Amino acid sequence: MAKIIYTHTDEAPLLATYSFLPIVQAYAGRAGVDIDTRDISLSGRILGAFGIVDDALAELGDLAKTPEANIIKLPNISASVPQLKAAIKELQEQGHAIPDYPESPSTDEEKETRATYDKVKGSAVNPVLREGNSDRRAPASVKNYAKTHPHRMGAWSSDSKTNVATMGQHDFRSNEKSVVVPADDTLTIKHVGADGTEMVLKDGIGVLAGEVVDGTFMDVAALRRFLTEQIARAKAEDVLFSVHLKATMMKVSDPIIFGHVVQAFFPTLFEQYGAPLAAAGISPNDGLGGLLTAAEKLPEGGAIKAAVEAGLAEGPKMAMVDSDRGITNLHVPSDVIIDASMPAMIRTSGHMWGPDGDEADTLAVIPDSSYAGVYQTVIDDCRAHGAFDPATMGSVPNVGLMAQAAEEYGSHDKTFEVPAAGQVQVVNAAGDVLIEHDVQPGDIWRACQTKDAPIRDWVKLAVARARATGAPAVFWLDRTRAHDANLIAKVDEYLPEHDTTGLTIEIMSPAEATAYSLERIRRGEDTISVTGNVLRDYNTDLFPILELGTSAKMLSVVPLMNGGGLFETGAGGSAPKHVQQLVKENYLRWDSLGEFFALVPSLELYAEQAGTPAATVLAETLDRATGTFLNEDKSPTRRLGGIDNRGSHFYLALFWAQELAQQTDDADLAAVFKPLADTLAANEQTIVDELIAVQGSPADIGGYYRPDDAKADAVMRPSATLNEALASLA
């Protein structure tokens, strides 16, 4: 039986769901559309992993491989270790019998527990659900709204000192080796010590014919030299020091790199107190905030805090997450995520916030050079030509290769901190060494896979989008990078399978493709970026934040390879801050526009799957209602006293009911929704007053990672008038 699965996730999107989903279910129910839910939140994944609740993620993963799939996926937490620990603590306090996170597991039981938690943290959801490639773009209504109501862009100065610093050598990009597997095989990753001792790091890695397999490593000694140089450079140039990583999605490698940045910034601290910190299980990988909190329990706690303060005073000025609260760029690894933090910096005149609470030029440290050139190219362009103009700029939609855990985001279970000097090898079943690197203790080695079928599907989708839009499609691939060279060969092989007559399809390195796209953007022209998985993530934040002011208003369609669809609703971005504001003053700024957009194609697919014409009516009227919503500017306002997320849901419900009442394709639906439309319109001011009346006081939702349903429902549905009107549809 066909049904739409609406996912319960985390933070602000989850809170918004308590308000919006009852509207959706009420409207859909009268049209015979079945909408169900599944909990894939961080807390739900933890409880599912220990068998306390059903494993909803595994269930949806199976569904995503079938033609019946119709999943609306909201943003979820890709948990860093500090977030995972916080969620575990909250669940334990709520009475759930789950174990602590073993920092340094020694017993078999601890190792098994750690392995269970490792499956939950980081990007645990996306690789399971993404059984298709990504088509992500700004809907025309959103783009037109941004042009008519352009958001503020910080002015750029030609003498801005903001720059990107990247290694360029001895990093993941420069050390990469790549092979195409000729036949189905089973691979083993092993470490061969300098004394010849062999240790299997991972075995039983199944690969298919035509699959691209990569291996690479970051030279940690070179990384530490690089970081020391950049800290000195930031101080010499009198700019803020910041580091930009992806410690959530790259949940093994990037927290380790983050830990090296913390150590490099505070060398005296770790020279003097590294031993007692390590003995107490305090890891720099968890960030400065966790270190300071944990150190309070040590005899040396006061001295450690003083050493941190001395390090901050001696080093360059640090970019801040929250200068008022003293939260630095190095406090929490998941606080500064590159795909959100770099566009925000570029949009704000190339500035981040300093410890004095003012904006300042910044040295953005991105250790690995694979994609750092994209951001440097944008910075150079803004320095030369000034800020972009949202009222006139073009667009850069994306076709992203992400199906079946493609590329770096599928590397978590194949990433290792090298235990000793020697070699890391990738060996096939016959014993042939496919990839080999000489490594030293502490180096970060990783491998990833990209299957052939997703690559072929990616090329097909790129051609389809170019044909549908008439815009050039540019494959962001670097011929001098090992992995990309193999992808280029496959693109060259698969493009002739499609009619590309009259289409412009190019292959450029990421930096070249950025410059090409920016030149067109400034002329008001569109360019499709056809990218791998990481650049998909980066580009679908970078360009939307510049064009629209946010990446949360994008339409993200994932045509699943076996049929069916996955509809993603935008980025999580500042969702944690939104939750903090709700708890503090009962005001939720989260914008659910992405949810509105995702629901339209999901309803259209349901109409096909279930043979339910009324679902098409729902989709068409919702699309028109969303256009009215934008034209009437009913998104959440920026401060108390105006409508917030809940008010925006009311207006969407009003406009949707009015469209349904006026449509002529389904007289029965029109008759059902006419009274509701009249009731909502007549009580507009009453409902808005009820929604605004609760603002200004603290809100109790019963938990950050796992809210209490009754409490969250009461907070997010405070208008009795609206609730009664919706109940009349039942």
Structure tokens that stand for 82 in this block: 């500090």
Q: Are 10 and 75 in contact (CB under 8 A)?
A: yes
* Number of C-beta neighbours around residue 104 at 10 A: 9
**Which tokens in the block code for residue 312?**
């901050």
Compute the distance between CA of residue 617 and CA of residue 377 in angstroms, rounded to an integer.
Answer: 45
Contact yes or no for 309/508 (Cβ under 8 A)? no
Percent over 70 (pLDDT), the chain: 99
Q: What DSSP line would sit under 564-587, residue for residue?
A: -EEEE----TTHHHHHHHHHHHS-
Residues 6+ apart with CB under 8 A from 255: 80, 81, 247, 285, 286, 333
Nearest to 388 by CA among 418, 329, 346: 346
Number of helices (H) and strands (E), helices first, in the chain?
Answer: 26, 24
Residues of the chain with pLDDT under 70: 570-574
d(CA 218, CA 130): 28
* The pair of three-digit structure tokens given for residue 400, joined into one six-digit string: 């992203």
Each residue of 10-22: pLDDT tens digit?
999 999 999 999 9
pLDDT at res. 450: 97
The CA distance from 616 to 624, in Å, is: 12
Q: pTM value?
A: 0.85
In angstroms, rounded to a whole number, what is the distance separating the alpha carbons of residues 4 and 607? 11
Q: Are 471 and 527 in contact (CB under 8 A)?
A: yes
CA pair distance 644, 464, nearest whole angstrom: 38
Nearest alpha carbon to residue 74 among 620, 556, 708, 561: 556
Bridge partners (DSSP) of residue 675 are none
pLDDT digits (tens, 9 = 90+) for 92-146: 999 999 999 998 898 999 999 999 998 898 778 888 888 999 999 988 888 888 8
**Which pLDDT score, from 0 to 100, does residue 9 have?**
94
Interval 344-403: pLDDT, tens: 999 999 999 999 999 999 999 999 999 999 999 999 999 999 999 999 999 999 999 999
444 close to 417: Cβ distance less than 8 angstroms: yes
Residue 80: what pLDDT? 81
CA distances to 164, 228, 264 from 365, rounded to whole Å, are 6, 11, 13
**What pairs with residue 79 in β-bridges?**
122
Cα separation values, 633 from 21, 149, 593, 627, 688, Å: 21, 9, 12, 10, 15
Mean pLDDT for the chain overall: 95
- For residue 535, what are its two tokens? 């650049």
Which residue bears the tokens 């569904």? 63
Q: What are phi and psi of 672, to 5 degrees?
A: -65, -40
Residue 426 token pair:
């990738």
* Whole-angstrom distance, CA of residue 527 vs CA of residue 602: 26
The residue ranges of every structural domain in the chain are 219-367
Give the number of C-alpha atoms closer than 13 A to the C-alpha of residue 8, restricted to the C-beta side: 19
For residues 132 and 401, the answer to whether their CB atoms sit within 8 Å is no
Cα-based distances in Å from 34 to 19, 127, 504, 660: 18, 26, 42, 18
**β-strand pairing of 565-568 with 70-73:** parallel
Q: b/e string for 548-574 if b means 16 or more Cβ within 10 A?
A: bbbbbbbbbbbbbbeebbbbbbbbbbb
CB 253 within 8 A of CB 411: yes
The Cα 471–Cα 465 span in angstroms is 8
- Give the H or E element holding residue 484: helix 482-494
Residue 499, number of CB atoms within 10 A of its CB: 9
Laid out side by side, the sheet with 422-427 consists of 198-207, 185-193, 422-427, 433-439
Query: 275-279 — which CB contacts under 8 Å span 24+ positions?
Result: 276/300, 277/304
